[in-house]
Amino acid sequence: MNKMTVFAPDYYTGFRCIAGACRHSCCVGWEIDVDPDTAERYQTMDGALGEKLRRCVSMDPFPHFILSAGERCPFLTDQNLCEIILQAGEGLLCQICADHPRFRNYWSDRVEIGLGLACEEAARLILTSPHPLRLVPLSVETEEEAEIPSEEESALLRRRDQLLASVSETGPPARLREYLIYRHLADALYDGRVTERVRLVDRAFERIITAWDGRSVSDLIEIARAFSNEVEYDDEKLEQLLTAP
């Protein structure tokens, strides 16, 4: 059996967190859960960083960073840099911090990774990409065995390809629609709601484009980022977009 192949949009490998230059840091306003393995590691760390990690990570009811004033991560410095990375490197980040703003979709024979619009640097890369969405294989080793896709799954992939091929906008609005298709259609793998997810893409697109009203590309990036922040991580709001008449 072959291992799964990992695919990502071609702009993916160009992503770098802009850290201190970020105007909407993802380290502000989000209560971040710490995965159990990392939480256990934090419990056994030596030195001042270990002490602070134990002080600033609550284990109740599950491990998470205790936000400071202004809902800032307690490890975010005044220069908006991550104290954990500065002192110990990225290897000590918990899973969510290491992953953000990436998302993953698991098909039977491949894993697809993407960047989410909620991050302003990712939104800039996505919406200013000079050509239509292009998935490229990454040279990443996976443990998972590839399986033969079901007929339903192959049909979903064909539907997605059709939708991507029929994008009629140009420039950043086209990139936005492609992103929404790439981000949201694959969830039908888990719930089978293909038609609703196609509608969700249309509604999300209309909402962002209406708010944008043809202004500058940087306005579109900011409106799309704010939409993603508000809706794409909120199951209730996503459900409203899925089911709205």
Q: Taking a C-beta distance cutoff of 8 angstroms, is the pair 156, 193 a contact?
A: no
C-alpha–C-alpha distance, residues 58 and 61, integer Å: 8
Stretch that binds ligand SF4, among 16-24, 179-187, 193-201, 215-223 (CB under 6 A): 16-24
Q: Does 164 bind ligand SF4 (CB under 6 A)?
A: no
Q: Does 26 bind ligand SF4 (CB under 6 A)?
A: yes
Stretch that binds ligand SF4, among 14-22, 145-153, 168-176, 231-239 (CB under 6 A): 14-22
C-alpha–C-alpha distance, residues 102 and 73, integer Å: 19
Both tokens assigned to 216: 């500058």
Q: Does 116 bind ligand SF4 (CB under 6 A)?
A: no
Binding ligand SF4 (rule: CB under 6 A), the pick from 6, 75, 76, 101 is 101
Mode of pairing for the β-strands spanning 135-138 and 5-9:
antiparallel
Closer Cβ to ligand SF4, 32 or 201, answer by number: 32
At its nearest, how many Å lie between ligand SF4 and the CB of residue 198? 28
The H-or-E segment that residue 54 falls in is: helix 47-56
At its nearest, how many Å lie between ligand SF4 and the CB of residue 121? 4
Closer Cβ to ligand SF4, 119 or 174, answer by number: 119
154, 157, 163, 167: CA torsion to nearest 10: -140
